Amino acid sequence: MDALRGSRSDAGRSLEDTAQSDFALDQTPYEERKSVRPQRELPQLYYLTHFQEMLDFVREKYAHVLDRDHHDFLTDFDALELKAKCLFVRMVNRKGRVFETAKLRYAEIGDLPDAVSKLHTAGFANAVKPQDFEELLQGLSKDALLQLMAPHLETAGAKRSWP
């Protein structure tokens, strides 16, 4: 408990006096400190490198407890082309399981339809199914929902300003 007790040299000093004299507190507002910090440039495929490192670690340390499906995943992932691997890792790092392909924009992937096709072929992605409908709707903005539902809303007499 000695670490929680003040030393004798602190006797008679207020907490404010101790803080001002013993600690160099940076009083610079956060926004100013943030802009001074140098931004570290991440390597272009950092996320794939980290994902691959994790898979290699799991292979090395836990191969003996992985079942056939896990081993198949590792083998099939290794067989993917680079751009398909990148897209898969980008997708698993996003929220949810259903994605609008128009919102998947990554310069390093380039030909997105080709990468999507490779993921479909290898079984890493599937077309949206009826059971995915609720999750698909949850990912849409209000404007997108209104646009999608416009013909039905007009028929039902609803107004576009509906909250």
Write out pLDDT tens, residues 42-66.
889 999 999 999 999 999 999 999 9
Amino acid at 152: H
Write out pLDDT tens, residues 58-110.
999 999 999 999 999 999 999 999 999 999 999 999 888 888 888 889 999 99
Q: What is the pTM of this model?
A: 0.66
- For residue 42, which phi and psi values (nearest 5 degrees)? -85, 145
Q: Name the maximum alpha-carbon separation found in the chain.
A: 81
Contacts of 10 (CB under 8 A, 6+ apart): 18
Lowest mean pLDDT among 33-42, 71-80, 153-162: 153-162
Angle at 146 between CA 145 and CA 149, to 5 degrees: 85
Is residue 122 a contact partner of residue 80, using CB atoms and an 8 Å limit?
Answer: yes
**Rounded Cα gap, residues 46 and 153, in angstroms:** 45
Residue 128, pLDDT above cutoff 80: yes
